[in-house]
Structure 1
Amino acid sequence: MSELEASLYALDWNNYISVATITTISYEYVLQFEKEVAYVWGRQWSVMTYLYFATRYFGILVVMTCACWGGLFYIPEAVSYGIFLFMQWGISVYCALAKVILIWRLYAIYGQSKLILYVLSGLFLPVVALYLTMDIFLWSRPSAISVEEVIITPNIKYCEAVFHIGPMPAIYASIPILCYDILLVVLAIAVLVKHLKERKELQMKPNTYVVMIVRYHVVYFVMNLASQIFMAILWANLPTVVMYLVLFLYDTAPFILVPRLIISIWETHANDNCIHVSTTFEDCVCLTSPRILEEHEMNFGA
């Protein structure tokens, strides 16, 4: 394959994946819009409401920028590097917001344990520092990465990122983040096991909220593990098809899962018969304290 044919082949795949990404995210938004109106816009605003809007709309902005950058729309080389930096920093901010949501939910299902909140928040600060370091070292230095405009014909141009260092720094930087994610998923599974054991002794069905939150924790962990691996291997010389398929998953899955975690819980709560309200979360205490829910069920013969 000649250099010209290889460039056209890469441009075609870039555009295919861009269209697929825009279509997937747009369809997801339309699919969830009715639920958003019912369970987000019409409810009392809380910390989780702000987190939802941040992950939903900031996430859409980042995804659409990622989809348009490259070849789908012509972007001058003079501004292309700045847009590329926005994409990478935006993804890091989004990942940090996602972890805040997971910490918040763990705090909830652990009965609003201050110890859990303080420990996870304390460990989260080095993770944020690591995100900043990665973004500066891996993405924000011309010696590490640059953007070049590929001119196929006078009317066909696209931009591509050129990596000047190997994948090992990205791999090393991802290890502490993965360790933190492992801690989150282990804590989630531990509370689920304890909850299932207690429910079995009381001959009650498991709390829907606890099961849902833990399921999302596990799914998010698997997805984030894949994302960290993808981020590292993107620095290697992958075949064109493999690279763009990896980018498609990397640019869609996290931005779909995280808002769904929040809105699915609110949807379940809206169809529940819980009468308690948590002043901490401004959410149903059935979500925040399985112990109180059990007492409520026993008192009312549920």
Structure 2
Amino acid sequence: MSSDVQSVLAQLQLNDYISVVILTAISYDYCLTFSKEIAYIWQRPWTRVSTLFVVVSVLSGVLLLRSAVHTQTSGIHQIRYVGYVSGITTALRGWAYTIFWMSADMVMVLRVYALWNRSKIILGVLLVIYTSEVVILLVSASIYSDPKYAIASVAQILDITVCSFMLSTQTWNIAPATIQCILGCVLCLLVVAKSVRDLLQMYRATRKWQMNRYISLLARDGLFYFLALFLVLDTQGTLGQGLVLLLTSIFAAVVLFTLTPRFVLNVRELYVLDTQGRWDIDAGFGLSSQAGHGVGGSASIGTIAFAAGGLTGSSEEGQSTAAVSPRERAESDDREEIVIE
């Protein structure tokens, strides 16, 4: 057996390892989050955030499954189907990635918007960058799915059918990555700035360096997302082999796609359990369902509007204010900042 054939077979073996890891991660994560998904998505009034969750959740599963059965190392795709079927799945992957990125970034934009007390300036800046990203992603997906820009070849190595696929132009690989990096950097800086500001406020109130748990949740999830995003973009722009590619492929595919739906579940769980239903379930995204607050009694379930208020039962809270410690009062003020201007 020649050294070239042995090298290809070694790469295909790495493909199999990646497939097993991805399938295991999908199954394990779904078992962990299934009960939360039922409780905080399907048993709650339907809102636009619910729709975003379904989109990122379904596409995450589809893309991970596609990666598991159509894995890649060093430009080699090990597949059980060739020809037009391979071309169709490649085109669908491009559009699936586009819709996923658009939905996932919108979730992060809304979370940062809520983090900054629904600042219209922050929202305006983020929407300008986000709109530019959407346009570039859509154009890139159109080019990526066009067969004339793709070069594919099929070879038979022993009893394995191998498909090698690459784009004939790299321009529209660079453009989406650039705008995504810009949006990711802006979001990351805003999260870090807000976290530092909250940490200082908590220290002045309690004389302890302890971050408010609400801000901490948003910051932690956001930083994980940005780390995974930058790793994915870096992986797309570089070529690697062996263990390095194996580890980065696993991290990029599993961490990003499994964590993104969790962001919605984490925020909803926090607001349902910790606030005992006093706030709207989507207040952590700077949005609120008017039906949830009963505003005017006429808004339909799922109608989303910018939150005009956060807490109910203010008279009862006013009677118990004296019994609240300075630290609890500081945390309550920080929580209220997320949903009240």
Shorter-chain TM-score category? Answer: 0.7 to 0.9
Which of the two has higher C-alpha Rg?
A: 2
Equivalent-residue separation in structure 1 for 2:182 and 2:247 (angstroms):
26
Equivalent-residue separation in structure 1 for 2:7 and 2:309 (angstroms):
57
Equivalent-residue separation in structure 1 for 2:115 and 2:162 (angstroms):
48
Query: Who is 2:191 aligned against?
Result: 188
Residues 157-212 of structure 1, C-alpha deviation per residue, up to 9 Å, x if partnerless? 132323545x6763465233212111111111222222222233333964322111
How far did 1:224 drift?
A: 0.9
The equivalences for 1:1-302 within 5 A come to: 1-69=2-70, 74-137=80-143, 139-142=144-147, 144-153=149-158, 155-165=159-169, 170-171=173-174, 173-203=176-206, 206-233=211-238, 236=239, 238-274=240-276, 276-278=278-280, 280-282=287-289, 299=321, 301=324, 302=328
How far did 1:28 drift?
A: 0.8
Q: Measured at CA, do residues 57 and 176 of structure 1 come closer, stay the same or move farther in structure 2, by a change above 3 Å?
A: closer
Residues 225-280 of structure 1, C-alpha deviation per residue, up to 9 Å, x if partnerless? 111110111xx4x3255444433222211111111111122222333145533484
Equivalent-residue separation in structure 2 for 1:73 and 1:79 (angstroms):
10
**Is the CA contact (8 Å cut-off) linking 1:39 and 1:266 kept in structure 2?**
yes
Q: Measured at CA, do residues 20 and 160 of structure 1 come closer, stay the same or move farther in structure 2, by a change above 3 Å?
A: farther
Equivalent-residue separation in structure 2 for 1:290 and 1:251 (angstroms):
38
Q: Counterpart of 1:226 in 2: which secondary structure?
A: helix
Equivalent-residue separation in structure 2 for 1:142 and 1:2 (angstroms):
33
Q: Counterpart of 2:80 in 1: which secondary structure?
A: coil
Identity in percent: 22
Q: Measured at CA, do residues 160 and 290 of structure 1 come closer, stay the same or move farther in structure 2, by a change above 3 Å?
A: farther
Equivalent-residue separation in structure 2 for 1:90 and 1:202 (angstroms):
47
Q: Measured at CA, do residues 248 and 146 of structure 1 come closer, stay the same or move farther in structure 2, by a change above 3 Å?
A: farther
**Is the CA contact (8 Å cut-off) linking 1:77 and 1:159 kept in structure 2?**
no
Equivalent position amino acid for 1:67 in 2? A
**Is the CA contact (8 Å cut-off) linking 1:77 and 1:147 kept in structure 2?**
no
Q: Measured at CA, do residues 249 and 145 of structure 1 come closer, stay the same or move farther in structure 2, by a change above 3 Å?
A: farther
Total equivalences in the alignment: 293
Query: Who is 2:299 aligned against?
Result: none
Query: Who is 2:301 aligned against?
Result: none
**Is the CA contact (8 Å cut-off) linking 2:231 and 2:248 kept in structure 1?**
no
Which structure is higher in RCO with an 8 Å CA cutoff and minimum separation 6? 1
Point out where structure 2 has 5 or more consecutive residues left out of the alignment: 72-76, 294-306, 329-341
Point out where structure 1 has 5 or more consecutive residues left out of the alignment: none
